[in-house]
Amino acid sequence: QDRNDMPDEGKPTAPQGQEARSAGDVLSGPGVDNPSVAEPTEPREPAPAKPDQEAPATVSPTGRPSGAGPELREQDGEWLTTAQGNRLYDTDHSLKSGARGPVLLQDHHLREKITHFDHERIPERVVHARGAAAHGVFEGYGNAAEVTRAGFLKAGVETPVFVRFSTVLGSRGSADTVRDTRGFATKFYTDEGTFDLVGNNIPVFFIQDAIKFPDVIHAGKPQPDREIPQAQSAHDTFWDFVTLHTEATHHTLWNMSDRGLPRSFRMMEGFGIHTFRLVNAEGGTTLAKFHWKPKLGVHSLLWEEAQLLGGLDPDFHRRDLADAIEAGAFPQWELGIQTFPDTPDQTFEGIDLLDPTNLVPEELAPVQPIGLLTLNANPTNYFAETEQVAFHPGHLVPGIDVTDDPLLTGRLFSYLDTQISRLGGPNFAQIPINRTHAPVNDMLRDGMHQTAVHAGVAAYRPNSLDGGCPFLAGADDNPYVEAPVTVPEASKVREAPETFADHFTQPRRFWRSMSPVEREHIVAAYTFELGKCYEQAIKERGLQVLANIDPDLCAPVAAGLGLPAPEPTVPIEDVDPSPALSQLGDSWPPEGRVVGIVTDADADLDAVRGVQRDLLSAGLVPLIVAPTGGTLGDGDGTVDVQRSYATARSPEFDALLVAGSVARGDDAYGARDARAAGDGAADPRMVLMLDEAFRHGKALGAWPGAEDALRTAGIPVDAPGVVTGGSGAEILDELTTLLTEHRVWDRFPPAQ
Ligand code: HDD
């Protein structure tokens, strides 16, 4: 209905002293034959930006270790307000017509609060949905100048970083300790723009060409009919894919090894995987692979621990990272590079450097450390920072360029594309955690969630209205330069090079580089995973792949599945092992290791406090375990309990020291457990904890006088890694030494 058709009494009336304009007036304007309305003909001066609207802003929370400054916190003043800043006097009751009457639609606060809540979630990442992150700093050693002109690698340059670790397959709420690859993505906020190194804790990838990425992920994610299983590879579609696409064999073998079950994000290596092209100040190029080497060494959980933790503490890894940083035990990694001459064939010692299912053994090309990463601050807000951070392998800085690895090329497309739907539009670079620390002067305008208020009228260049700016960098300004390498002239084809065809030699090298106990774990993992498949044909195909890696790997898995071991269908050629691939055989700093001190109110509490102090000053984390929570002792000499019998379980601890008895707790559980009859009987929960810790190869010690507690729990006190019989200090010393090797490996009988 036209407004003019309204009856007179419904028409708006003109404010006093003004004439109401007719519809004809409103419609007049440029192009309408009405000389009384003038069209502007002179270009207008742009309105100057207000000081707080300068755009795009370069301030970022990462400039401050805590992650957010007051200007970014979006919270100010003492009063609870609406999003528009109107003070509220009540937020717990809807506006109603009388206390028992209907809720009124006019309640803006109610509608705003619920509407905002309804839209709190954004789509989770299609892969790597579950993650945890931290802020830190990277310092270059200055020794990479010969191969790259990247400014952040120069000696002493400190660059803020944000690092996100993740699992690949699970949803955002899945457990941390599942068997999976871990993401290791680092954002360097360098002066020359942002550099993202988006890697994993495994140096090779499942596929050789990005076009297969949707397929491998469809196969690994929960099956589409029932959405089962969550965050696990032990199912038919995953094994169907990786046995039909044998290029996945190498990565799958790493997943089945201890690398699939990291003890901590702090104890993982990281790899850039692809071969990159480094460019030095003279334009000379070198091929390189990036490595992160953790100062604490590479260590893993046992499968049983990982499974227990899935229920006991699904946040085990994120908690471990956040606790360590909060306690000041800042995790550190050295960034290293393996370098290779940039030859036309892009191979090294016969290894195709463009094939991301290949690694180059460190014995052939040593990893040269070029800088140090320290994570020193937890995020302030998970959603704002960890969830909204957007990585992209195409975020490069001068001196680091890409190669023609077909997996990398596809990634260069995918990451930008995914942020647009995940973060709701093309302006995700303006989200505080994603803001570069370098000045930005781009021609990107408008779009969903545009928060910059751009001044000027000429969003193009050159122009004659905004001074022709911005200017283009010249050769002396170290601009972003793609290395002008020659692209071979060839026909357009959809095929892989012949050098991508060998899928078994590199996995065989990995298998043959493992220690006996690591091999035992791999055999157990394949037996479990293939054993969980329903389809017989998939199990048989899985065994065929294993036979082609090495019949010695295939035979015990076949035995476990109750199937015959097939003959290999490829020649089983010898390959030199690479000792660097094994996690065992060295020792590492025990810092940050968790030592449970099992004690009780009757123990020598002064001595317990002494142990706590010694462990803390050695950089370890002592946790007091006692029958119930609260405080032991009274007066000045009290000890706070961190874990009770009801909350303590073995996988949380790297070592246990019994400094008291393990007698039945008098909480509800202890009191009613029929097996714990009589005063002084061992508490079944402590028996279980000590038994598990022993089976899992944890260092165990008993304080003088507490050896009986171990015996009561059925622990053979003369077994390797069980420390009794010395002074308290000696026992502690020995436990700490045992921790430098992560586990008491001698307790595991060598595999047959
Ligand atoms: Fe990817 C996320 C690592 C291949 C497509 N990837 C993502 C993350 C990591 C990796 C660590 C999480 C980043 C974060 O914490 O936000 N991806 C890798 C590595 C690969 C790899 C090391 C091979 C060497 N990825 C790969 C391919 C494709 C993708 C071949 C697509 C063709 N990856 C994505 C993605 C994600 C992603 C869909 C999901 C969320 C995101 O990007 O930001 O675009």
> pLDDT of 493-512, one tens digit each?
999 999 999 999 999 999 99
Dump pLDDT digits (tens) for 132-168: 999 999 999 999 999 999 999 999 999 999 999 999 9
Distance 618 CA to ligand 1 centre (A): 38
Distance 10 CA to ligand 1 centre (A): 60
Sorted by sequence, the CB contacts under 8 Å of residue 131 that are 6+ apart come out as 125, 164, 165, 166, 167, 183, 386
Report the SS3 class of residue 419: helix
Residue 673: pLDDT over 70: no
> For residue 12, what pLDDT is reported?
40
CATH code of the domain occupying 505-581: 1.20.1370.20
Specify the amino acid at residue 490: A
C-alpha distance from residue 612 to each of 599, 630, 653, 659, 661 (Å): 12, 17, 15, 11, 18
Distance 653 CA to ligand 1 centre (A): 32
Report the SS3 class of residue 155: coil
> For residue 51, what pLDDT is reported?
46
3-state secondary structure labels for all residues of 712-730: HCCCCCCCCCEECCCCHHH
Residue nearest atom 37 of ligand 1, based on CA coordinates: 127
Residue 31: pLDDT over 70: no
Q: Which CATH class is domain 131-212+259-434?
A: mainly beta
Ligand 1: which atom is nearest the Cα of residue 418?
44
Report the SS3 class of residue 94: coil
Distance 175 CA to ligand 1 centre (A): 19
Residue nearest atom 3 of ligand 1, based on CA coordinates: 199
Mean pLDDT of the chain: 89
Beta bridge partners of 158: 139
Distance 345 CA to ligand 1 centre (A): 27
Ligand 1: which atom is nearest the Cα of residue 414?
44
> For residue 671, what pLDDT is reported?
59
Residue 595: pLDDT over 90: yes
Sorted by sequence, the CB contacts under 8 Å of residue 153 that are 6+ apart come out as 140, 141, 142, 144, 145, 370, 371, 399
Angstrom distance (rounded) from CA 673 to CA 549? 50
> For residue 28, what pLDDT is reported?
37
CA 441 to chain centroid, in Å, comes to 31
Ligand 1: which atom is nearest the Cα of residue 210?
30
* Cα dihedral 616/620/625/629 (nearest 10): 60
Beta bridge partners of 377: 135
CA 528 to chain centroid, in Å, comes to 26
Residue nearest atom 12 of ligand 1, based on CA coordinates: 128
> For residue 680, what pLDDT is reported?
63
Pocket test for ligand 1, best of 198, 247, 419 (most atoms within 8 A of CB): 198
- Is residue 195 a known part of a binding site? no
Specify the amino acid at residue 139: E
More reliable by pLDDT, 392 or 37: 392
Pocket test for ligand 1, best of 391, 402, 405, 412 (most atoms within 8 A of CB): 391
- Within 10 angstroms of residue 341's Cβ, the number of other Cβ atoms is 9
pLDDT band for position 466 (cuts 50, 70, 90) = confident
Residue nearest atom 28 of ligand 1, based on CA coordinates: 411
Cis, bond preceding 462 (omega within 30 deg of 0):
yes
pLDDT band for position 654 (cuts 50, 70, 90) = very high
Beta bridge partners of 278: 286, 400
CB 707 within 8 A of CB 717: yes
- Within 10 angstroms of residue 394's Cβ, the number of other Cβ atoms is 16
CB 275 within 8 A of CB 288: yes
Q: What is the DSSP letter of 201?
A: S
> For residue 6, what pLDDT is reported?
41
Active-site position among 109, 135, 200, 378: 200
Ligand 1: which atom is nearest the Cα of residue 207?
30
- Within 10 angstroms of residue 290's Cβ, the number of other Cβ atoms is 23
Indicate the domain borders of the chain: 131-212+259-434, 505-581, 594-747
Residue 125: pLDDT over 70: yes
Residue nearest atom 40 of ligand 1, based on CA coordinates: 125
Catalytic annotation present for 128: yes
Distance 245 CA to ligand 1 centre (A): 20
Ligand 1: which atom is nearest the Cα of residue 271?
22
| Closest by CA position to 60, among listed 161, 196, 199 | 161
In what order do the strands lie in the sheet containing 643-644?
A: 643-644, 621-626, 594-598, 655-658, 699-702, 722-723
> For residue 27, what pLDDT is reported?
36
Ligand 1, pocket residues at CB < 6 Å:
125-128, 131, 164, 166, 183, 185, 198-200, 205, 210, 213, 273-274, 356, 389-391, 407, 410-411, 414-415, 418-419
pLDDT band for position 674 (cuts 50, 70, 90) = low
Strand spans (E) along 492-543: none
More reliable by pLDDT, 121 or 69: 121
Q: Extract the tokens encoding 682.
A: 């061992």
- Is residue 422 a known part of a binding site? yes
Distance 178 CA to ligand 1 centre (A): 19
Q: Tell me the percentage of the chain whose pLDDT exceeds 90.
A: 76
Catalytic annotation present for 200: yes
Distance 354 CA to ligand 1 centre (A): 18
Dump pLDDT digits (tens) for 467-477: 888 888 888 88
pLDDT band for position 283 (cuts 50, 70, 90) = very high
Dump pLDDT digits (tens) for 167-213: 999 999 999 999 999 999 999 999 999 999 999 999 999 999 999 99
Mean pLDDT computed over 679-695: 88
Mean pLDDT computed over 316-338: 96
Ligand 1: which atom is nearest the Cα of residue 199?
22
Query: For the purposes of burial, counting CB atoms within 10 Å of the CB of 104, is it exposed (0-12), middle (13-18) or buried (19 or more)?
Result: exposed
Residue nearest atom 18 of ligand 1, based on CA coordinates: 199
Residue with tokens 């055999």: 523
Dump pLDDT digits (tens) for 309-323: 999 999 999 999 999
R_g over Cα of the chain: 32
CATH code of the domain occupying 594-747: 3.40.50.880
Residue with tokens 């030592």: 595
Which range, of 108-122, 455-469, 523-537, averages the lowest pLDDT?
455-469
Total number of residues shown for the chain: 752
- Is residue 138 a known part of a binding site? no
Distance 393 CA to ligand 1 centre (A): 9
Residue nearest atom 22 of ligand 1, based on CA coordinates: 199
Distance 415 CA to ligand 1 centre (A): 7
Ligand 1: which atom is nearest the Cα of residue 273?
24
Active-site position among 4, 93, 116, 128: 128
- Is residue 411 a known part of a binding site? yes
Residue nearest atom 35 of ligand 1, based on CA coordinates: 415
Residue nearest atom 9 of ligand 1, based on CA coordinates: 183
Ligand 1: which atom is nearest the Cα of residue 415?
44
Q: What is the DSSP letter of 123?
A: P
3-state secondary structure labels for all residues of 422-479: HCCCCCHHHCHHHCCCCCCCCCCCCCCCCCCCCCCCCCCCCCCCCCCCCCCCCHHHCC
CB 595 within 8 A of CB 657: yes
> For residue 45, what pLDDT is reported?
56
Pocket test for ligand 1, best of 388, 415, 420 (most atoms within 8 A of CB): 415
Residue nearest atom 11 of ligand 1, based on CA coordinates: 183
Dump pLDDT digits (tens) for 35-83: 454 544 454 455 554 444 343 444 444 443 333 344 555 677 888 988 8
